[in-house]
Structure 1
Amino acid sequence: MQKIKPLILTGSISLDRIMNFAGRYRDLIQSDKLHVLSLSVLIDQLTNSRGGTAANIAYNLSMLGDKPVLLGSVGLDAQAYLLNLSRLGIDITRVHISHLPTPTFTVLTDHDNNQVGGFYPGAMSDIAGLTLKPWYETDSLVVISANDPSAMDQLVGEGCSHHLPYIYDVGQQVSNITTADLQQGLQHATILFVNDYELGVILNRTQLLPSQLNAQIPLIVTTLGSQGTRLTGHSLASPLLVPAVPNVHVVDPTGAGDAFRAGFLYGYLRHWDLLACAQLGSTVATYTIELSGTQTHTFTLAEVRKKHYSAYGTHLPK
């Protein structure tokens, strides 16, 4: 049986409030009134659910049968949340319980799946005990996803100092961390996970050309929504564009990127080729976007394999 190296998922564990309205931001925003911007919309759907980047990735991996380690910080109000994650086989023993409230993400999505969101960090700012020390001498893989900026910098530093390979998933903190910390995170990353917008921000802040960033990082995985995924980086002879699963009914795109990461990582840890990793990521992502909420869906590995075959016409590796 193939031995799978431990996966440590660092980042946010949060509560989500997801709102949807039938209109479009572009019809509401007056370009000549941006300096006095004030919007109010009638909400068609409101969903309160559990989320957070690291927790979402862990949740989807648990559906595939993996048992990652979760490293983050929550408040006392998240006890039931953690219990549910533990029941799924996720290792929560390294989650710090803070006196501050659990981080909360609030997002408003329009008809075109454009989003405006706000994140209250709460317990995420309390990083006491957040360290990779238990894995210094192990053959592990670390995911550094959106977290308190100082925590992200600390984890990057630990990864570099102790030669722990890490995946850099800066996400919604791409505009909040310092440029120096961003450059440090990129410089030593094994993989960079971004969406197209985040990639643009990175290139703008670092003043790097796409070719320069590709030369710096072995693998860059850029999710493009309905357009699929683009794989670049100096480990590839040429860019690889992987189509998304077709004919998906999108109810709520929140959490799609996290679900994609879970699928991709499942294959990556098993040394699958990158095409299969990206296809699995896209297949897993369909389950969350077809429902409102980031941890409201369920699936089995057998169901995913069947859905993947229907979409791509090939079988996933065993």
Structure 2
Amino acid sequence: MSKPQVIISGSIAIDRIMNFTGRYRDLIKPDKLHVLSLAPLLDKLENSQGGVGANIAYNLALLGEEPVLLGSVGSDAADYIKLLESVGVDASDVHISKLPTASFNVITDSEGSQVGGFYPGAMADSQSLSFKPWQGQSALAVISAHDPKAMNRQVEECQTLAVPYAYDPGQQTVDPTTDLKKGIGGALVVVANDYEIGSLCDRLEISVDDLKNQVPVLITTLGTNGSLIEGTAVAKPLQVGIAKPREVVDPTGAGDAYRAGFLYGYLRQWDLEKCGKLGAVVASFVVEKHGTQVKFSTGDVVGRYKDNFNEEIEL
């Protein structure tokens, strides 16, 4: 059986990543949340390419995959699209909008806690993005966080066309227009961090146990505690540790990198624990630098996998 083609729908954004050496919990007064006002002095500010869909596609391409990226950008992202294509991302289906490219602005404290804001811009102009060309083909769609209406439409499309898909609602778990029940209902894989899993369960008024009994593979990323893989297709919960980075500079984008590593293995029918370990290794490179798209080689990945998990892999 041939390996499925992976098609990733999701945001393509220009990120502004900021850091400060303090801790949010030292700045937030619980009795003043109704008048919350924070303005930490920043130590670092950097503009970089990002967006969930683009980050996943970028990291998959560095692993040797040939991902197709579905997204919408403004004309201001021409150089960014060229960069993605230069590493092996198929961006021929990216829509060029008259609106500016989406932008994510985030401030990270010394503990990795983050407060951010997202301007959708061209991301909202995504009516033309469709999985129809892959109907009847060997393909895996990845519906990651972007415009909620487009996500809902793409879920419906995948279910109608029988295109298998992974569901990664991300920050859109809190958006009331995101049809989470429909999204998880037909997904082969659902992935989110522990905060997003909590939001998803709150929205659906179910427990985490209920959720894992509705999804073949449920992945909860846990930051420095690794990841948890469970679900109806998992005999027993798999706790996967992190791969140790040389240093921790910024966690932004680590979750997207984990998804790329996991998907690389999943497309090749690796066992799920091995998929999670590869996700951990890819994520470890991202936290070492500012920005969500860093450079690494397949040799780097193979070496770090062996160092952390005492196992050999081939990419």
TM-score (norm. length: structure 1): 0.97
Alignment of 1:39-78 (within 5 A): 39-78=38-77
- CA positional deviation for 1:4: 2.2
Correspondence 1:129 to 2:109: no
Shift of 1:315: 1.2
The match for 2:283 is 285
Query: What is the rounded CA distance, in whole Å, between the counterparts of 2:127 and 2:212 in structure 1?
Result: 35
What is the alpha-carbon distance in structure 2 between the residues aligned to residue 60 and residue 213 of structure 1? 28
Written as runs of structure 1 = structure 2, the 5 A alignment for 1:267-306 is: 267-295=265-293, 297-306=294-303
Q: Which amino acid aligns with 2:260?
A: A
Task: State the secondary structure of the residue aligned to 1:48.
Answer: strand
How far apart in 1 are the matches of 2:26 and 2:299? 43
Give the Cα–Cα distance (whole angstroms) in 1 for the partners of residues 40 and 147 of structure 2: 31
Residues 109-129 of structure 1: per-residue CA shift (max 9 Å, x gap):
001110000000000111131
Aligned CA-pair RMSD? 1.2
- Offset, 1:317: 4.9
Q: Aligned residues, how many? A: 315
Structure 1 letter corresponding to 2:162: H
Unpaired runs of 5+ in structure 1?
none
**Equivalent position amino acid for 1:284 in 2:** V
Answer yes or no: is the 8 Å Cα contact 1:96–1:128 preserved in 2: no
Structure 2 CA distance for aligned equivalents of residues 66 and 177 of structure 1: 34
Q: Percent identity?
A: 50
Mapped partners of 2:70, 2:134: distance in 1: 12
Contact preservation (8 Å) 2:302, 2:314: no
Whole-Å separation in 2 of the counterparts to 1:248 and 1:241: 22
Aligned-partner residue type, residue 307 of structure 2: S
Q: Distance in 2 between matches of 1:15 and 1:39?
A: 24
**Corresponding residue of 2:247:** 249
Q: Distance in 1 between matches of 2:290 and 2:124?
A: 27
Cα contact 2:10–2:144 (8 A) shared by 1: yes
Which residue does 2:93 correspond to in 1? 94
Q: Is the 8 A contact 1:149 1:177 kept in 2?
A: no
> 1 CA distance for matches of 2:74 and 2:143?
21
Question: Does the alignment pair 1:152 with 2:151?
Answer: yes
Distance 1:35 1:211 in 2: 33
Tell me which amino acid in the other structure corresponds to 2:32.
Answer: K
Residues 17 and 45, structure 2, Cα contact 8 Å, conserved in 1: yes
Q: Within 1, Cα distance between the matches of 2:259 and 2:72?
A: 21
Aligned equivalents of 1:264, 1:247: Cα separation in 2: 18
Unaligned runs of 5+ in 2: none
Q: Distance in 2 between matches of 1:128 and 1:98?
A: 11
Counterpart residue identity of residue 69, structure 1: V
Q: Cα offset for 1:259?
A: 0.3
The residue number in structure 1 matching 2:231 is: 233
Q: Classify 1:248/1:307 alpha carbon distance in 2 versus 1 (closer, same or farther; 3 Å).
A: same
Contact 2:143–2:154 (8 Å) recurs in 1: yes
Instruction: State the Cα deviation string for residues 214-251 of structure 1 (Å, max 9, x = none).
Output: 11100001111111110110111211101111365210
Cα distance, 1:246–1:88 mapped onto 2, change above 3 Å: closer
Give the letter aligned to residue 165 of structure 2. Y
Structure 1's consecutive aligned runs of 4 or more residues displaced over 6 angstroms after TM superposition are none
Matches of 1:234 and 1:317, distance apart in 2: 28
Work out the CA distance in 2 between the residues paired with 1:177 and 1:245.
Answer: 35
Q: Residue 312 of structure 1 aligns with which residue?
A: 309
- 1:186 corresponds in structure 2 to 184
Secondary structure in 2 aligned to 1:155?
helix
**Tell me, what secondary structure is at the counterpart of 1:174?**
helix
| Equivalent position SS for 2:65 | coil
TM-score normalised by length of structure 2: 0.98
- Tell me which moved more, 106-115 or 207-216: 207-216
